[in-house]
Each structure stands twice: as C-alpha cells, then as structure tokens.
Amino acid sequence: AKEQDLHTQLDAMMMVLNTSEEVEQLVLRNTDLTDDHLLSLAGVLKSSPSAVTLLNLNLNLIGPFGA
C-alpha cells in the first residue's frame, strides 16, 4: 500500500512537472525514492518546462546507480 501511494504521488508530481512552468523547487526528502524512481524523475525533469533550481533527495534509498 505504501509503495502504491508513492507511485500515485510520483505520477501526480510528474504530471505537474510536464505541464507547469512554475515549479522551482522539489523537496523529496525521506520519501523512499529508489534508483528506478529517480530514473523516471530525471527523464521528466529534462523535458519539463519548469526550471527547477533546487532538488532535495536526502534520506532516500538511492544507491550508486542513482547517484
């Protein structure tokens, strides 16, 4: 259930990133993000019309691959 909630929230956030020009900061601290989640997020950030200037990923489950 917790994993599905995370996926639902990430999908919603990625939809906002794909459509909004107003996102400047993402604080995703201690959200159990993994390397796979980060890979998806990176793809969305590259194509986002927003200019995100701060991204906080502290205290997640990101390994060497995602770093």
Token digits of residue 4 = 């599905």
DSSP 3-state percent helix, strand, coil across the chain (nearest 5): 45, 10, 40
In the predicted model, is pLDDT for residue 44 greater than 80?
Answer: yes
Residues 6+ apart with CB under 8 A from 34: 60, 61, 62, 63, 66
Question: How far, CA to CA in Å, does 10 sit from each of 6, 7, 34?
Answer: 6, 5, 12
Note whether 1 and 31 are within 8 A (CB): no
Query: What is the pLDDT of the chain when averaged over all its residues?
Result: 93
pLDDT band at 27 (very low <50, low <70, confident <90, very high): very high
